[in-house]
């Protein structure tokens, strides 16, 4: 099929590349001409495992194109996906101005029937508004359908999640676009749920909020485990093996971050309020998440006492493993809190250092280190803030010798408490 994707951020670019990989012809549109030029020259603006190869292969095969012209994308495609940002506003609601802007742009170029698909995460009832907008701004009385097709990819695993989705959700207001939407997704061999647009939009907010709830549940349990001497990993494993619960997304740690969970929770609470429901359960999920970081920082200050001029090594800046994304990263939040107390930081992240620099400017208080094993040199404490798997491969005997005082705070429970103690570390993790 011929498809256009408007917006080449995480979702748009990976979706476009994966659609091309299964044989569709894809026009990726972005209004940032500089970004389009980078992509046309073979550059990839984000770090995502497997993405660069996928883009190169499909550009070479002539299936993946980049353009700054919405008109070209709309003219050449049967289905147009909207994948533009929906950033949070201070009151927790979502800024839908990019979606509205794209809807108007599409309306201005529509000359014949098109399917317009919203892939961005949006509050319930957005598809209805998009349809209304296109109807209002279309130059002629042209036919179209608006479909809601939320994306469930995780950063760091985006290509894999897209190529092998658990399910595909297609929300429609009429039956006309269903066959074409099925055709887009048939190569992915996933269960396809066809429903109404409002339910499709709610599925996305409901799923992300439930996953955030699982994490907050595990984090709340970690507090009880610390108070009682139990081990949260044993508890969540024992719970999770019940197939009705499942073992995934029950890792206690520093709490969830990133550009999705915090934003989607606020948005879901906000839209629920507008619809007349006080979603107190989700407010508590947010509260537990914030508290988890405060409890962890207290653990550090309780141990180190005064932080002023203490040297602290921090491993991990990205909001999770396998990504360079530092937006709403718990690791950055932690660093900022330590800096506020006067600590001097030595920081490292395998991919996130460039994007972290504007948030944690290098200088007297922050030193960026290129080698994870060199981070702890001369430090009074070492903190693990992101769940990068390579942090389980640290040269611990070397680190033990290099530290001023061998204290490790493991915010992601990556290391083995018994081994750490055996090596002579004072080791504190979360809920165990
Ligand atoms: C999340 C969802 O998992 C995707 O399904 C969804 O498509 C995406 O949001 C989105 O709305 O676009 P993402 O934010 O990329 O994906 O990352 P996750 O892997 O979900 O991790 C989110 C945060 O939760 C991270 O800070 C991670 O460290 C934390 N987390 C995750 C935990 O603290 N414990 C866990 O057990 C799992």
Which domain CATH number covers 388?
Answer: 3.40.50.720
Q: pLDDT at position 165, please?
A: 97
Q: Which atom of ligand 1 is nearest to the CA of 121?
A: 11
- Cα torsion 62, 41, 85, 362: sign: positive
Query: How many beta carbons lie within 10 A of that of residue 383, not counting itself?
Result: 30
Question: Are 162 and 293 in a shared domain?
Answer: no
Number of structural domains the chain divides into: 2
How many whole angstroms from 324 Cα to the centroid of ligand 1?
14
> Quick check: 269 and 279 in contact, CB under 8 A?
yes
Q: pLDDT at position 385, please?
A: 98
Last residue of a domain, one of 190, 219, 235: 190
Which protein residue has the closest C-alpha to ligand 1 atom 13?
154
- Cα torsion 89, 91, 93, 99: sign: negative
Question: Are 386 and 315 in a shared domain?
Answer: yes
Angle at 180 between CA 179 and CA 182, to 5 degrees: 65
> Quick check: 41 and 52 in contact, CB under 8 A?
no
Residues constituting the chain:
432
Question: Are 250 and 133 in a shared domain?
Answer: no
Q: pLDDT at position 304, please?
A: 97
- What tokens does 252 get? 């206690």
Q: Which residues line ligand 1 (CB under 6 A)?
A: 121, 151-155, 208, 211, 215, 249-251, 253, 256-258, 260-261, 264, 319-320, 387
- What tokens does 68 get? 């700054």
How many whole angstroms from 365 Cα to the centroid of ligand 1?
30
Question: Are 164 and 280 in a shared domain?
Answer: no
Range of the domain at 330: 196-432
CA–CA separation, 101 and 120 (whole Å): 14
How many whole angstroms from 239 Cα to the centroid of ligand 1?
20
- Where does residue 277 rank: exposed (0-12), middle (13-18), buried (19+ CB within 10 A)? exposed
How many whole angstroms from 321 Cα to the centroid of ligand 1?
10
Q: Which atom of ligand 1 is nearest to the CA of 215?
A: 34
Taking the chain (432 residues) in consecutive chunks of 10 residues, what is each chunk's mean pLDDT? 96 97 98 94 91 96 97 97 96 96 97 97 97 95 96 94 97 98 97 98 98 98 98 98 97 97 97 97 98 98 97 98 95 98 98 98 98 98 98 98 98 98 98 97
Answering whether pTM is above 0.85, one says: yes
Question: Are 7 and 90 in a shared domain?
Answer: yes
How many whole angstroms from 225 Cα to the centroid of ligand 1?
23
Testing ligand 1's pocket by substitution, the residue of 320, 322, 333 carrying the most ligand atoms inside 8 A of its CB is 320
Closest C-alpha among 71, 129, 72, 73 to residue 100: 129
Last residue of a domain, one of 143, 173, 190: 190
Q: Which atom of ligand 1 is nearest to the CA of 212?
A: 24
Which protein residue has the closest C-alpha to ligand 1 atom 18?
154
Closest C-alpha among 348, 211, 232, 357 to residue 295: 232
CA distances from 303 to 298, 300, 406 (A): 8, 5, 12
Catalytic residue among 28, 225, 260, 335: 260
CA–CA separation, 13 and 75 (whole Å): 20
Which protein residue has the closest C-alpha to ligand 1 atom 24?
256
> Quick check: 65 and 28 in contact, CB under 8 A?
yes
Which protein residue has the closest C-alpha to ligand 1 atom 10?
260
Which protein residue has the closest C-alpha to ligand 1 atom 7?
152
Q: Which atom of ligand 1 is nearest to the CA of 150?
A: 7
Question: Are 35 and 101 in a shared domain?
Answer: yes
Q: pLDDT at position 422, please?
A: 98
Question: Are 156 and 120 in a shared domain?
Answer: yes
The residue with tokens 């994306």 is 151
Which protein residue has the closest C-alpha to ligand 1 atom 2?
154
Closest C-alpha among 283, 287, 251, 255 to residue 270: 283
Q: Is 28 a known active-site residue?
A: no
Q: Which atom of ligand 1 is nearest to the CA of 319?
A: 26
Q: Which residues contact 389 (CB under 8 A, 6 or more apart)?
A: 321
Q: Which residues contact 115 (CB under 8 A, 6 or more apart)?
A: 78, 79, 80, 144, 145, 147, 177, 180, 181
Q: pLDDT at position 19, please?
A: 98
Q: Which atom of ligand 1 is nearest to the CA of 151?
A: 7
Question: Are 315 and 268 in a shared domain?
Answer: yes
Question: Are 62 and 93 in a shared domain?
Answer: yes
Q: pLDDT at position 73, please?
A: 97
Question: Are 175 and 296 in a shared domain?
Answer: no
> Quick check: 5 and 15 in contact, CB under 8 A?
yes
Q: Which atom of ligand 1 is nearest to the CA of 320?
A: 28
CA distances from 223 to 151, 304, 324 (A): 33, 20, 30
The DSSP symbol for 94 reads B
Which protein residue has the closest C-alpha to ligand 1 atom 1?
154
Last residue of a domain, one of 168, 190, 212: 190
The DSSP symbol for 51 reads H
How many whole angstroms from 10 Cα to the centroid of ligand 1?
14
> Quick check: 139 and 108 in contact, CB under 8 A?
yes
Q: Are strands 192-196 and 168-172 parallel, antiparallel or unpaired?
A: parallel
- H or E, element range at 29: strand 25-29
Question: Are 388 and 302 in a shared domain?
Answer: yes
How many whole angstroms from 143 Cα to the centroid of ligand 1?
38
Which protein residue has the closest C-alpha to ligand 1 atom 31?
249
CA–CA separation, 407 and 383 (whole Å): 9
Of the chain, the end-to-end C-alpha distance in Å amounts to 52
3-class DSSP state of 194: strand
How many whole angstroms from 319 Cα to the centroid of ligand 1?
9
Question: Are 97 and 134 in a shared domain?
Answer: yes
Testing ligand 1's pocket by substitution, the residue of 159, 211, 255, 263 carrying the most ligand atoms inside 8 A of its CB is 211
- On the CB side of 120, CA atoms within 13 Å amount to 30
């Amino acid at each position: 099929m011929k498809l256009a994707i408007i917006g080449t951020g995480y979702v748009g670019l990976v979706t476009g590349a994966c659609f091309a990989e299964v044989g569709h012809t894809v026009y990726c549109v972005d209004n940032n001409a500089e970004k389009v030029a980078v992509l046309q020259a073979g550059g990839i603006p984000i770090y995502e495992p497997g993405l660069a190869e996928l883009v190169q292969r499909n550009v070479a095969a002539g299936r993946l194109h980049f353009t700054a012209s919405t008109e070209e994308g709309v003219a050449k495609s049967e289905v147009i996906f909207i994948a533009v940002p929906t950033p949070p506003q201070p009151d927790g609601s979502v800024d839908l101005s990019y979606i509205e802007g794209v809807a108007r742009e599409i309306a201005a170029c529509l000359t014949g029937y098109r399917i317009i698909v919203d892939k961005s995460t949006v509050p319930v009832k957005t598809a209805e508004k998009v349809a209304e907008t296109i109807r209002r701004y279309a130059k002629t009385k042209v036919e179209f359908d608006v479909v809601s097709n939320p994306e469930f990819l995780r950063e760091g695993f985006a290509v894999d999640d897209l190529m092998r989705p658990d399910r595909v959700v297609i929300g429609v207001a009429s039956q006309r676009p269903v066959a074409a939407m099925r055709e887009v997704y048939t190569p992915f061999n996933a269960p396809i749920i066809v429903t109404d647009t409002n339910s499709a939009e709610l599925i996305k907010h409901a799923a992300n909020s439930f996953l955030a709830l699982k994490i907050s549940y595990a984090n709340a349990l970690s507090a009880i485990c610390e108070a009682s001497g139990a081990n949260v990993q044993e508890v969540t494993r024992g719970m999770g093996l019940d197939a009705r619960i499942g073992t995934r997304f029950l890792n206690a740690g520093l709490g969830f971050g990133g550009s999705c969970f915090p934003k989607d929770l606020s948005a879901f609470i906000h839209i629920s309020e507008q619809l007349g429901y006080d979603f107190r359960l989700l407010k508590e999920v947010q509260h537990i998440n914030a508290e988890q970081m405060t409890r962890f920082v207290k653990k550090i200050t309780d141990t180190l006492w005064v932080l002023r001029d203490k040297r602290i090594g921090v491993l991990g800046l990205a909001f999770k493993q396998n990504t360079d994304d530092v937006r709403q990263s718990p690791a950055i939040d932690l660093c900022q809190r330590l800096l506020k107390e006067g600590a001097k930081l030595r920081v490292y992240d395998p991919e996130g250092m460039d994007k972290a620099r504007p948030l944690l400017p290098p200088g007297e208080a922050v030193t960026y280190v290129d080698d994870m094993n060199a981070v702890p040199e001369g430090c009074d404490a070492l903190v693990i803030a992101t769940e990068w798997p390579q942090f389980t491969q640290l040269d611990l005997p070397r680190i033990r010798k290099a530290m001023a005082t061998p204290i490790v705070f493991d915010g992601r429970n990556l290391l083995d408490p018994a081994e750490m103690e055996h090596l002579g570390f004072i080791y504190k993790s979360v809920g165990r």
